[in-house]
Structure 1
Amino acid sequence: MDENIQVFYKPENSWVGDFIPYYEDGEFKLFYLKNWRDNYQEGYKRGWHLITTSDFIDFKEEGACNIVGGTGSIIKIDDLYHMFYCKFPSAEEQLVCHAISKDLEIWEDITEDTFTADGKIYDKAHWRDPHVFWNKKEGEYWMLISTRTVAGKSTRTGCVGLCTSQDLKKWKYQQPLYAPGIHVGAHECADMFKIGDWWYLIYSNYTDNFRTFYRMSRSPEGPWITPANDTFDGRAFYAAKSTFDGEKYYIFGWNPTKESNHFGFNPENYQGKDYDTWDWGGSLIVHQLLQNDDGTLAVKIPDTVSAKFKKGLPLSFNEGQGEWDINTNTYKTESNYAFSSLISNEDIPSVCKISGKLNFGKDTKACGIMLRVQDDLAHGYYYRLEPNRDRLLFRSHLMQSEEGGKTFPYEAELERPVHLEFGKEYNFNIIIDDTICEFYFNDEIVMSSRIYDLKEGKLGIFVSEGIGQFTDLSINVID
């Protein structure tokens, strides 16, 4: 295995921000905003950059466009590509812009098509991330805009705005497509697509709840239903936009880094990063979408990514804590009043896929996986299923100490909702790439996280106050 392999794309000396995915001729063309941070030097190119891939593992860097601007979308009409993007000339006004190209490389800016909000329905200071598509049902082009309404009794005016057009040049302001009065901030990176009889509206928001959301409807006009679990991932996945390859749908977002102690929360003399605050930008994360029978959406590892991890590694466990019944890669414990665990004899590679199945008995308080754990159990990253709370919880080594308990003014560092049933078997797949961990559970949900401080350690399984069983555990690497 190449030790320099990178599963989740990040450009050299910089980071990725919002993606603008486009699929054509068997290749994903992923335009994105590049974040140079303190690495920026004169001569570096700003604006949209492009990478291409067919499998989300091997990427080719195509360089920067000659257009400088923010997030948007691309649509092809006949032999001409149309780029819609945004600019930010001032704090009082944002602009939607239009450019065309014959080859996705050289773009001609159509300056006369630039426009801003009307100031009557929509706020000119929030007018960005245009997403354009042909609405066959209505016989017109739709442009979704990340914006805020002008009228409102409170500041919760974030919405998905709507403009319509017949020629991609002249746009009519319509009433908001979705304005629920939930968020203060604009509904960013809005996206819309149809699978079967269902329409899906995606947007991201950084107020009230920092993540990417989705809504569903039988009609492109709504009403927009909020599913029981209305997110694809947690805090460490943002600005997701979708594309379709003719068979499967995918969403492309970014896992943010944690590079600074922005609010001064860290304990004195702490030298690590796990306490640090989330940044804008990081590494590319791709989730494959699945449609459930009731129309709701689920996520899984892209098949092409999972298939890369072909080489199995030896995996064995020591005696651990508590009593376990071990039989041919089946590990079972009854620990109704205590914590039981097994720790692998082998360290986890820095890049790998960990897979397995688990189930738990009635009234079990918690069970799950420990990553990069040491024999003392205090140093490790815990992914904890809590059936009585219907959630997957991430808890780092920081919370295993009194200092960590005092520092964090909340119980959960990261969590994802998931309905859990006693006695049912669940599968899990974990992708680790250095500081990034993607925990996929039962082809339903995923939890993105960062694991900085503990660079090495073992695989652990545990059950807390209950009955649990783990089977078919494996660790695979890219051969």
Structure 2
Amino acid sequence: MTEFFYRPKDAWVGDVIPYFEDNEFKLFYLHGWRENDREGLDNGWHLIGTNDFCHYKAYGACQIYGGTGHVMKVGDTYHLFYCIFPEGKQLVCHAVGTDLMNWTTIPEDTFSSDDRIYELSDWRDPFVFWNEEEGQYWMLLAAMAKGPSNRKGCVALLTSRDLSKWTYREPIYAPNIHVGAHECPDLFKMGDWWYLVYSNYTERFATFYRMSRSLNGPWITPKVDTFDGRAYYAAKSASDGRKRYLFGWNPTKNDDLFGWNPPKHPGKDYNTWDWGGNLIVHEIIQRPDGTLAVKVPDSVNEAFAVERPLQWKAVAGKWSSPAHDEYACESPYAFAASLTEEDLPDRCKVSLEIRFSEHTQGAGVMLRTGMGLDEAYYVTLEPQRHRITFRGPIMQSEDGGKTFPYEVELERPVELLPDCSHQLQIFIDGSICEIYINGEVAMSARMYDIERGKLGLFVSQGDAFFKNIMVEMI
């Protein structure tokens, strides 16, 4: 069975711990049951495998019960580091094995924060690697550094020569930006650059990265320092020796945690984001200046190869078709839209190229739209603000304006130049929506409340040209 965004049956994917071996990505993940907790089901580590991000083999539970960590192999022995939370404490644990499914914990290797450099409150998500320059192992941890303010979030650093006894050192990165710990730290090198990756849920909610020429820093914050938006979290990376991929999760929205969902609204679109959801994989791309971008993995992109014919009908404004599969609209002072005759399939890829004039305020696509154009999910290129945004149906109404103190639900920065072609790819699978623009910017989203509808093109107060529009299935 083809499955692009893996989720276990009746459960959810939490933080992913990727490891590559035998031509397969071995993806350990925190297995979340949620409402099934009352049945006594385990929430430990589970393992799946894939070599194409389209098919996944479930290996099962690994008998490790705890939080995020790291897996590595030294000689013939596998080492697994993870965290546990007994009686409110946070401790790092060590287990070993001769395969990836059976582990023996080493109780004497369990340890906590030193309570001198680091607070006792946060001590989790170990990541371990061999530092060739120092000739010893380094461990990175999500932690809180000692300090006068609450902005103590950091990536802790420990060193060891035997993977058993660890020496506490000053944080590898402690910028006093986040009130929360820098979760799920990850580190890798591409070319001449080192990259430090972490996730955080305070100040901003995302997976971030920093870059440096040296493991000793300084750690530079790039202009765009995230891989995706709010609906993508806890991402860690792994390489197959040729390409590097980022493994995170797109959260569900099953809980109205703060009661913000309008009482009249029966759906899920405006619930709070949950912990855990579906596995999302991005391919990491390094630009010439060393900054990073992400795109859809080639295997996922190429899996959608059955094109569905499209018939268009103008709903607002004057549309022309200067050539086959090309649509244009000049609407400098108004909103214009054209819709397909057919509904979008439940699982599909939407791809197109968009070009717009200098003063265009917005252009893009409507997903699952009706003829009224308000019940729809809008993916909008906003060139005046150099961003791509995602808005659901409630944002088209007065209820949205009264309920939410912001004008968009999701947004990502992207350079949008007039009179240039911008490529948009959107992957839809049920409620999941994964958006890529120009092969370098990703924006994850969810679409719950509208299950069926048409594909639409639109331009708002400007001129736009749409080309090579395709809806493809597997």
> Per the shorter chain, which TM-score range?
over 0.9
Q: Does 2:271 align with 1:273?
A: no
Give the aligned partner of residue 467 of structure 1: 463
Tell me the CA shift for residue 197 of structure 1.
0.3
SS at match of 1:112: helix
Alignment of 1:100-249 (within 5 A): 100-150=96-146, 152-249=147-244
Shift of 1:405: 1.4
Residues 1:74 and 2:86 are matched in the alignment = no
Give the aligned partner of residue 64 of structure 1.
61
Contact 2:295–2:439 (CA<8 Å) still a contact in 1?
yes
CA contact (8 A) 2:118 2:145 kept: yes
Is 1:333 aligned to 2:329, yes or no?
A: yes
- Distance in 1 (alpha carbons) for counterparts of 2:221 and 2:145: 21
- What are the superposed Cα offsets for residues 448-473 of structure 1, whole Å, 9 maximum, x if unpaired? 00000000001111111111111001
Q: 2:384 and 2:158 mapped to 1: Cα distance? A: 45
Q: Write the mapping of 1:228-307 to structure 2, written as runs, cut at 5 A.
A: 228-307=223-302
Deviation (angstroms), 1:57: 1.5
3-state DSSP of counterpart to 1:456: coil
CA distance in 1, matches of 2:422, 2:467: 10
Q: Distance in 2 between matches of 1:35 and 1:105?
A: 18
What is the distance in 1 between the residues matched to 2:169 and 2:222? 26
Aligned AA (1:130): P
Aligned residues: 473
The answer to whether structure 1 residue 94 and structure 2 residue 85 are counterparts is: no
Match of 2:350 among 348, 354, 372: 354
- Paired letter, 2:80: M
C-alpha displacement at 1:420, in angstroms? 1.2
Alignment partners' CA distance in 2, 1:117 and 1:223? 24
User: Post-superposition shift, 1:44?
Assistant: 2.6
Distance of 1:319 and 1:438 partners within structure 2: 27
Distance across 1 between alignment mates of 2:15 and 2:209 = 17
| CA–CA separation in structure 2 for the residues paired with 1:46 and 1:332 | 52
Alpha carbons 1:355, 1:473 under 8 Å: kept: yes
Q: CA deviation at 1:302?
A: 0.6
Establish whether residue 311 from structure 1 lines up as the match of residue 306 from structure 2. Answer: yes
In structure 2, what is the equivalent of residue 369 of structure 1?
365
Q: For 2:149 and 2:143, locate their aligned partners in 1 and report how far apart those are by CA, in whole Å.
A: 15
**Matched residues in 2 for 1:359 and 1:165: separation?**
55
> 1:323 Cα deviation (Å)?
1.2
Residues 3 and 56 of structure 2 are in contact (CA less than 8 Å); yes or no, is this contact kept in structure 1?
no
Indicate if the aligned counterparts of 1:46 and 1:64 stay in contact, CA closer than 8 A: no
CA distance in 2, matches of 1:137, 1:310: 47
The one-letter code sitting in structure 2 at the alignment partner of 1:387 is P
Pairwise CA distance, 1:6? 3.5
Task: For residue 312 of structure 1, report the CA deviation from its aligned partner.
Answer: 0.9
Write the distance in 1 (CA, Å) between the matches of 2:76 and 2:17.
Answer: 20
- What is the alpha-carbon distance in structure 2 between the residues aligned to residue 450 and residue 137 of structure 1? 44
Gaps of 5+ in 1: none
Residue 51 of structure 1 corresponds to: 48
Q: What is the CA–CA distance in structure 1 between the aligned matches of 2:337 and 2:264, rounded to whole Å?
A: 32
The partner residue of 1:30 within 18, 27, 30 is 27
Which amino acid is 1:372 matched to? R
SS in structure 2 at match of 1:388: coil
1:399 aligned to 2:366?
no
Q: Distance in 1 between matches of 2:219 and 2:337?
A: 45
- Displacement of 1:43 after TM fit? 5.5
**Preserved contact between residue 6 and residue 433 of structure 1 (Cα < 8 Å):** no
Residues 323-346 of structure 1 deviation map (CA, whole Å, 9 limit, x = unaligned): 122121111111111111111111
Give me the whole-angstrom Cα distance separating, in 1, the residues matched to 2:283 and 2:396.
34
Runs of 4+ with >6 A deviation: none
- C-alpha distance in structure 2 between counterparts of 1:166 and 1:211, whole Å: 33
CA drift of 1:232 comes to 0.5
Question: Aligned-pair RMSD on alpha carbons?
Answer: 1.1
- Whether the aligned pair in 1 keeps the contact of 2:136 and 2:159 (CA below 8 Å) is yes
Q: TM-score, normalised by structure 2?
A: 0.98
1:15–1:36: 8 Å Cα contact kept in structure 2?
Answer: yes
What amino acid sits opposite 1:352 in the alignment? C
- Aligned mates of 2:136, 2:327 — CA distance in 1: 58
Residue 304 of structure 1: how far off its partner (Å): 1.0
Match of 1:431 in 2: 427
